[in-house]
Structure formats: C-alpha cells, structure tokens
Structure 1
C-alpha cells in the first residue's frame, strides 16, 4: 500500500534501536526523509548507516537526550518543519512505588510526559499552518493495565494521554492527528532486562522465563519492532487522516477487555 507520505519529513525520537528503530525503518520505507535520535553515538551511527544503505531517502542522526532542552533544539535544528513527530523515550526503571523519591518522580514525569508535550508545542503550529501533520506517541499497555513496579512510567504516560485528549481535537480541523501506540510485551532490550531480573530472582533459565511470559499472551509470542513500526507508519499515512485521539494496543490480546 502506498501510504501517501513520500517526501514528508519525520522526527523519530529514541530511534537508534528497539521500537523507535522499527518506526524509523517503516517511515523510511514509505519514502519519508527522517531524523533519528539516540544517546549512544556508536549505536546511532550504525543505525543511520544501515538505514542509508537500505532506503533512498535523507537520513540525519542526532545524538542527544531528547528530555533536555538542548536535545530538543538539536532535533528541531536538523528538521525545523517536520510533518511527522514520533515521541518516544526510555521509561524509569522498574521500582516499587515506596522507593520513589521526589527527584525520581519528577524525572520520570519529565521523560514521559513533559518532553513529548514540549516537542508537540514546538511542531504543532507549523503542521497546522501547512494543513498536514501526524504525531504518534509511544506510551505503554500499562496506561490501561497496571504493571507492578512501573507505576511512575504508567502515571506519566497516562498523564500525557489525558493532556493530549483535548489538544488533538483542537488540531484536527487543520489536518493534524495525534494518536498513541500502546506496546505490550515487545521483544526489546527493556523486556530482556525484566527477564534477566526474573532469572536472578528465581534461578530459572532464561528459556523458561521467556516461555512462561509468552504463554500469558493469547498470541503466544512477543511483538516485534517491525510490526510495531508498520502500525506507526499507517497512523502517519494519508489513509489515517480521520483517526485521532486514539490509543492503539499492540499486545497480542494480553489486555483482557472488550472496549
């Protein structure tokens, strides 16, 4: 399917690996010129080289922490007038709520709520003036279904979701959509880190821990960055112009609800 976004310009935050990288791959394949981002220079450069080798589009790489004002400025300098913004950022590490102090909580809210809002504030006026824009926020299934130890991440991302519920409707008349992608158990480094903790705590093998976790999912497998990226690209397409303010679960059926 032609997504109708060839030649559009996209910023994809935290995209040197994992789900962000999957989104970068899909948007590059759709013909978008993209800016990718990460904090590890070597990983970022390797991702940029691989993308340039695979797709005939412009690829810019910005090594920066998107949670900082300097990092955001660097992204916007590389792409001053993006048509597409993919908000993504690492979440706070798993920790019981009783262990969270004020500074840790504020940092988590900045990472997963304030940062995407700041970037949206920066790019939305231009998108609205050009009568086209796509914003996709990568949040989490935990916005809907609590996950023990991820209370800070869940709360900040849920706050972002509520904040943007009104904003998306203000932007809709100008051809700008804002949607959220809620990943479940995706085969990424973050999931692997959780498995490694489980191995250390239980003494089980990695294979057993992975198998038990996959068995909880109706699809009986973990999601992957490629299929996640393709869903993201569709939300950015001309075909999704009537779709805004939505929370799209990619969880293999793990969240047990009819609505």
Structure 2
C-alpha cells in the first residue's frame, strides 16, 4: 500500500534501536525523510547508515537526549517543520513501588509525559498551518493493565494519554491527528533488560522470566520492531486522517478486554 507520505519529514525520538528504529525504518520505506535520535553516537550512526543503504532514504542523525531542552532544540534544528512526530523515550527501570523516590517519580514524569507534551507544543501549530500533521506517541500496555515494578512509567504514560485525549480533538479539524500505540512485549533490548530486573524482583532466573512472560501471551511469542513500525507508519499515513485520539494496543492478545 502507498501510504501517501513520500516526501514528508518525520522526527522519530529514541530511534537508534528497538521500537523507535522500527518506526524509522517503516517511515523511510514509505518515502519520508527521517530524523532519528539517540544518545550513543556510534549506535545512532550505524542505524542511520543501515537505513540509508536499505531504503535509499534521507536520514538525519541527531545525537541528543530528548528529555532536555537542548536535545529538543537539536531535533527541531534538523527538521524545523516536521510533518510527523513519533514520541518515544526510555522509561524508568522496574522498581518496587516502596522504593520509588520523589526524584525518580519526577524524572519518570519528565521522560514519559512532559517531554512528548513539550515536543507537541513546538510542532503542532506548524502542522495546523500546513494542513497536515501526524503525532504518534509510543506509550505502553501498562496504561491499561498494571505491570509489576513499572508503576512510575505506567502513571506518567497514563497522564500523557489523558493530556493528549483532549488536544487530539482540538486539532483534528486541520488534518492533524494524535494517536497512541500501546506496545506489549516486543523483542527489544529494553524487554531483555526489564526481564532481567523483574526476574531479580521475583527471585527467579531471566530465562524463567522470559519463558513465563511468553507463555502469558496468546500469540506465544514476542512482537517484532518491524511489525510495530508498520502500524506506526499507517497511523502516520495519509489514509489515517479520520483516526485520532485513539489507543492502539499491540500485545499479542495479552490484555483480556472485549472493548
């Protein structure tokens, strides 16, 4: 399917690997100029080179921490008028709720709520003026169902979801959409890291934790960054202009809900 966004410019935060990279690859394949971002210059440049070689796309690599004003400035200097913004960021590591400090709580809110809001504020009026905009927030299935040890991440992402719910309705008239993708368990470095830490909390081995997590998924497997990226690209496409304010859960059937 031609997604109708060839020639558009997309900023994809935290996209040197994992789900962010999956989104960057899918948007590059759709013909977008992609601005990718990460904090490790070596990893980021390797990713940029691989995407360029695979898709022939224009890829701009920006080394930056998107949670900082300087990092956001660097992204927008590379693409002052983005048509697509994919908000993504690392979350707080798993931790028992009794051990969460005030500082850790505030850092989680900055990473997973304030940062996406700040970036949206800086690009949305330009999108409205141009009559096209797609904002996709990568949140988590933990917005809908609790995950042990991820209470700070869950709370911040739920707050982000609520914040954008109203904003999405305010800007829809201008063909600007805002949607959220809620990933379940995907085969990424982040999943491996959280599995190890959650195994320690439960007092079992990472292998046991991995096997147990996979057994809980009706699809009996972890998702891939590639399939996640395809879903993101569709929400960013010209065909998704009538979809806004929605939460797309991609979890292999883990969440047991009819509606």
Distance 1:126 1:195, change over 3 A: same
Identify which range, 10-19 or 183-192, moves more after superposition. Answer: 183-192
Deviation string, structure 1 residues 143-201 (Cα, Å, up to 9, x no partner): 00011111100000000000011100111000000000000011111211133235556
Instruction: Number of aligned residue pairs: give it.
Output: 258
User: Are positions 1:243 and 2:228 aligned together?
Assistant: no
- CA offsets, 1:210-252, max 9 Å, x none? 2221111001110110000000000001111100000000000
In structure 2, list runs of 5 or more residues that go unmatched.
none
Runs of 4+ in structure 1 off by over 6 angstroms are none
Q: CA RMSD in A?
A: 1.2
Give the structure-2-normalised TM-score: 0.97
Q: Which residue of 2 aligns with 1:227?
A: 227
Structure 2 CA distance for aligned equivalents of residues 77 and 109 of structure 1: 25
Residue 211 of structure 1 corresponds to 211
Aligned to 1:95: 95
Give the C-alpha shift of residue 57 in structure 1. Answer: 2.0
- Indicate the residue corresponding to 2:104 in structure 1: 104
Residue 164 (structure 1) aligned with residue 138 (structure 2): no
Relative to the length of structure 1, the TM-score reads 0.97
- CA 121–199 in structure 1, closer or farther in 2 if over 3 Å, else same: closer
**Partner SS, residue 7 of structure 2:** coil
C-alpha contact (below 8 Å) 2:94/2:198 kept by paired residues: no
Distance (whole Å) between structure 2 residues aligned to residue 157 and residue 220 of structure 1: 26
**Cα distance in 2 for residues equivalent to 1:26 and 1:254:** 25
Counterparts of 1:195 and 1:76, CA distance in 2: 34
2:39–2:65 contact (8 Å) kept in structure 1: yes
Please give the per-residue CA displacement for 1:55-83, whole angstroms capped at 9, x wherever unaligned: 22211000000000000000000000000
| Gap regions ≥5 residues in structure 1 | none
Is 2:63 the counterpart of 1:63?
Answer: yes
